[in-house]
A and B are shown apart, each in its own frame.
Chain A
């Protein structure tokens, strides 16, 4: 549930060492976790697994800078997944709209409703992560906390849009 968490301890003391070279990020841990999910397990528990591995295996990975970099790379991973799934759902929903229009149906547009939802979700994500940042005042934890929040929320929405029911 909590989008912050995880790294809350141990932030401020470490120095921003040599976290520049973050070649160590791969989405493997997240994907392995997702692939191992069985029914009734919650795939959102896999979010952040790759960022954690990145922090553990990168020199300076637990510095504020290192954490932000690792979290940001998993955020980029989920963001790409979200864009892909949004496009897939949008194409499907617009196809349904076209079929319905051909049948003379007055059903409300699924494509428009999808776009409205996604716009509202973006505002909700940004406002929620602004709120989480505000918990840190001007503290250095605010950076990674914000990236972590964006990562969790983006991943949750990607998983939502990947649900079969939205495409079938």
Chain B
């Protein structure tokens, strides 16, 4: 449910907010504090979008959403790097121990590419459901925001598996 939840609230609360040049920075601390308050069973997605909503109280919603998307993109890249390091290590272990060769790193790269295509196609579909129908609408941005954050959580989790 990438398009649901907070977006409606966002549009209602901030639809009339005026664009301002300042105040478009999001607070990474808001995200970290939220995530660290969750127990293991909780859905991490509740922590996505809050920083953009906070930011939009003083700034432009579109710019705030872009700022939070950029945050998750950066974090996604870090998570992917960690997962790739781990996969390369496993591949190299298998080689040096003369185990059945496996290309875990290649499988991870393929998975990540296919996820990227999936995100584009999903958000393009959702975009057709909204009357504005533009990639820069808050709804379309919300789709990218949630999907990017979800994949970040996934990569961060697989990177930690021993």
Contacts and interface: CB of A to CB of B under 8 A. Distances in A.
Interface stretch (A28-36, A50-58, A61-69, A131-139): A131-139
Interface in B103-162: 103-104, 107-108, 110-111, 113-115, 117-118, 120-122, 124-125, 127-129, 133, 150, 153-154, 157-158, 161
A14 interface: no
A126 B118 CA distance: 12
Given A108-B128, A130-B110, A120 B121 contact: yes
Contacts of B87: 134
Given A1-B153, A42-B45, A127-B107, A116 B1 contact: no
Contact of A137 (B4, B46, B94): B94
A77 interface: no
B111 A108 contact: no
Contacts of A126: 114
A128 B128 contact: no
B103 A135 contact: no
A166 interface: yes
Which 7 A-B pairs give the minimum distances between C-beta atoms? A120-B121, A124-B118, A42-B43, A127-B114, A113-B125, A131-B107, A131-B111
28 contacts: A1-B150, A1-B153, A1-B154, A4-B161, A113-B124, A116-B121, A117-B124, A119-B121, A120-B117, A120-B118, A120-B120, A120-B122, A121-B118, A121-B121, A123-B114, A124-B118, A130-B107, A131-B108, A131-B110, A131-B111, A134-B103, A134-B107, A135-B90, A137-B90, A137-B102, A138-B99, A138-B100, A163-B1
Interface of B: 1-4, 41, 43-46, 87, 90, 94, 99-100, 102-104, 107-108, 110-111, 113-115, 117-118, 120-122, 124-125, 127-129, 133, 150, 153-154, 157-158, 161
